[in-house]
Amino acid sequence: MGAVKRERLEMYAEGFHCLGFWHSHPEPRPTPSNDDIKMAREHAQAGKNDFEGLVFAIVGTDAFPPGLGVWVHDGVTLWRAEPEAQDVGVIKLSE
């Protein structure tokens, strides 16, 4: 059993769910690495019975909003969440 699956089972047994991750990148406008995408996909697939997608945020070195990248992985596709307007909390998803 992989470390991701084992950790998920241990935390789930204690009543916790993994809804997403965040981490930082040393680049102005972050983009997910291949390892990031692989980890997001594995967690999204592992949680498929509990929720539709895994939230994945990366903080870059630029000021927000360009320095913050937010995606949702549905187990197949990593969708980019982009603000529609800065003064409201609405996001849209694009592949």
Of 36, 43, 46, 47, the one binding Zn ion by CB under 5 A: 36
Residue 18: CB minimum distance to Zn ion, A: 16
Cα 35 to chain centroid distance, Å, stands at 12
Count interface residues toward Zn ion (CB under 5 A).
Answer: 2
Per CB under 5 A, does 78 bind Zn ion? no
d(CA 84, CA 90): 6
Sequence-ordered list of residues with C-beta below 8 angstroms from that of 95, at least 6 positions apart, any chain: 77, 78, 79, 80
Q: Which residues bind Zn ion (CB under 5 A)?
A: 33, 36
